[in-house]
Amino acid sequence: MNEKTVVVTGASRGLGASVARAFASENAHVVVCARSEGALGSIAAEIEGNESGTVTAQRADVRDEYDTERLMETAARVSQGGIDVVVANAGVYHGDPGETSLEGESYSAVDDHLRTNGRGVYTTIKESVPHLAEGANVLVPSGSVAREARAGFGSYAVSKATAEAVARGFAAELDAAVGVLDPGQVETGLGTAGRDPDDIAPMFVWAATDLASDDLNGEIVDLKAWRKATH
């Protein structure tokens, strides 16, 4: 990943922070964003102090296309030839996982799930397109709730299904490879319990570096595929 530029949204905690650290440990220049400047500054300082790669931190809200446009312009300026990897990770969950019913949700929660987890992925990919390097990869984290109806995940599940549909649409249109990564249940900082994100982050580096474009583009790549390829 030497001299490669990687953009990670929602990088101030959970999986996003772990993914940013993992790419930086491979000598990438990581451009990180989050809505909280304080938390973002902490992860940037951690990367600068402990990893071999470099980092640029910029506060951005993926719900705001102008914020996202500026983020991608910044990433392009600091790159050696365009953005090589985009990880559209930013997300929210309003409620308690497994206990959030569609019927009982507020309209504001539904709107923010769709705006952040669905439209936010669209904005992230759309604004990156003019700046993508040749052979770029776009990775969209998701989970089985996007495809398998389960009670208690409400409009969060609907928003993740939207994110996957956005990824498939861009995969059909772009030269870059756009795919969904499903790492299973991960402790995200959004109230969900699961695997340590530091254990899962290498899956994203693998998908960006070793996974064939045809095996990523328009596909859902799960934990089993990663483990089979690397163990």
Handedness of CA 182, 160, 35, 28 (dihedral sign): positive
**CA atoms of 118 and 115, how far apart (whole Å):** 6
User: Is the model's pLDDT at 188 over the cut of 70?
Assistant: no
Look at residue 65 and give its three-state secondary structure: helix
Higher pLDDT, 52 or 206: 206
**Within 13 Å of residue 219, how many CA atoms lie on the same side as its CB?**
13
User: Is the model's pLDDT at 193 over the cut of 70?
Assistant: no
Look at residue 116 and give its three-state secondary structure: helix
Range of the domain at 63: 5-230
| Residue 122: CATH number of its domain | 3.40.50.720
Predicted local distance difference test score (pLDDT) of residue 67 = 97
Predicted local distance difference test score (pLDDT) of residue 195 = 87
- Distances, alpha carbon 23 to alpha carbons 8, 29, 136, 143, 231, in Å: 10, 8, 15, 22, 20
What are the backbone angles phi and psi of residue 225, rounded to the nearest 5°?
-65, -40
Confidence of residue 37 (pLDDT cuts 50, 70, 90): confident
Number of folded domains in the chain? 1
Give the end-to-end CA distance of the chain in Å, rounded to a whole number: 21
Q: pLDDT per residue over 109-164, tens digit each?
A: 999 999 999 999 999 999 999 999 999 999 999 999 999 989 999 999 999 999 99
Predicted local distance difference test score (pLDDT) of residue 218 = 97
Q: Which residue in this structure is represented by tokens 């102008």?
A: 66
Helix axis angle for 120-128 and 154-173, nearest 10°, is 20
Q: pLDDT per residue over 20-33, tens digit each?
A: 999 999 999 999 99
Predicted local distance difference test score (pLDDT) of residue 53 = 83
